[in-house]
Chain A
Amino acid sequence: MLCSARFLFLIQFSSIPLPVSLSPTKSLHAQHHALADSSYQLDVLNPAQTAGAAFPAFAAKLRETGLLPLRPTEMTVLQVNVGKMCNQVCKHCHVDAGPDRTEIMTRETMQQCLDALAKTNIEVVDLTGGAPEMNPDFRWFVEGISALGRTTIVRCNLTIIVANKKYHDLPEFFAKHKVRVVSSLPHFAAARTDAQRGEGVFAKSMRALHMLNAVGYGVEGSGLTLDLVYNPSGAFLPGNQLSLEREFKQRLSREHGVTFNNLLAITNLPVSRFLDYLVESGNYEGYMDKLVQAYNPTAAANVMCRSTISVGWDGLLYDCDFNQMLELPVARTASQHIRDFDLESLQARAIVVNQHCYGCTAGAGSSCGGATA
């Protein structure tokens, strides 16, 4: 009797529904959230020394490494954020993107990007957003970049391809222009991907990956590159990029018949919605501490801002997409808008750093191209 009563308890206990994390459906901006304000984000990242719990200044770390002021090396990538509009509202998004964001790059600004490109030898244009494909002039822009003989990278969130009929032919369009496709897939387990990117995202991503594979993306010998981005779904650092790649390849091909080229492991930076998640879940201090403890001088020497310039939807220039979201423009000594693009003054600038930069220098390092050390 006693025994069966205990079992009854166990059964009841195990039937308690698991907590389901509700995916936000609105950007912080639309919620009028305090962290939608970039200056407030910087306040959170830089608590007054008197308030305690201050982490060593990132600039001081760079000085120890002999990298301050942080100077550009060779500019090889023009990263263009063509707008904050997105069909998804991922929990970790440092852009605070979503369907409710209306900031979109105009064709005129895109033309200024093309004019700047024509004056330089920058080989790669890295298109990001939001969902860059939602910009009405997206295809026009890619055609313009191709006409200049430069390579386009598109940071494609995958679900956009299956979101609407007008996007179904994106794989063919990408293939025609030999666009390098870089797509986020935080995990090969559906639950972990959906927890970060929204309910049902994993299944839609698999459909999109099949469509990309079908036109040759990620298929050996096709010359069409499909890279996946892994970023941790929580307050921890990414593991070894190569081991993760091996595991992703094995699981995706075995369970879903999907193939891809490289896995890029990217650390989540404490900016915007990921910062909000850290603060709300009580993980902020622990996470910052992990980043600071894992500071790697080699990764610091290889931070992407040394070889990239980032253009905002309105044409303003930034050292990287993170600085863009924190509204930290390039130093005043350099040209600050794409229409005034001047390579010389940009190459001579000092890169603007802050506490979020610890995300780029932790462990194996992190950039839009994955690990750096």
Chain B
Amino acid sequence: MNDSTYYNPADLAKFGKISEWQPEMGRKFFDYYGEVFKEGALSEREKALIALAVAHVVQCPYCIDAYTSDSLQKGADEAQMMEAVHVGAAIKGGATLVHATMMMNKAKELSM
């Protein structure tokens, strides 16, 4: 095992072990997690694509690994996956830019 990096792909499979040090909360979290990803008003594939977009926005390598596989498995194609990431990127970029209105308000308030 290469322990000279913070992230190790093999650690993804150990996710469940977080329950060992706090079984009650761990169990509740994983029950909830399982419930969230079940087919509901949104299909499993739509949920996988949302998770993929969010994984990129929070830049979690484990989640990107997991939800790339999951999206493929649920039948998504490359174009859908890339569009999902763009949605995440657009919201992230948009969230930065929309705050510019605060900057503009403040600047106007301070200016003659």
Contacts and interface: CB of A to CB of B under 8 A. Distances in A.
Interface residues of B, number: 12
Contact of B44 (A230, A232, A234, A243): A243
B23 interface: no
Interface string A165-197: 000000000000000000000011101100000
Given A243-B39, A243-B43, A191 B72 contact: no
Interface string A150-172: 00000000000000000000000
Interface string A222-257: 000000001010101111100110111000000000
A237 B75 contact: no
- Interface secondary structure of B, over-half rule: helix
Interface residues of A, number: 18
- Pick the most buried of A238, A239, A243: most chain B CB atoms within 10 A of its CB: A239
B45 interface: yes
Contact of B77 (A191, A240, A243): A191
Nearest to B39: A243
A243 B73 contact: no
Interface of B: 39, 43-45, 69, 72-75, 77-79
Given A246-B43, A247-B45, A239 B75 contact: yes
A239 B44 contact: yes
Interface of A: 187-189, 191-192, 230, 232, 234, 236-240, 243-244, 246-248
A247 B75 contact: yes
B78 to A, nearest CB: 7
B69 A244 contact: no
A311 B77 CA distance: 36
Contacts of A234: 72
A188 B74 CA distance: 13
A191 B74 CA distance: 17
Contact of B73 (A187, A189, A191, A239): A239
Given A187-B77, A239-B73, 6 more contacts: A188-B77, A189-B77, A230-B75, A234-B72, A236-B72, A240-B74
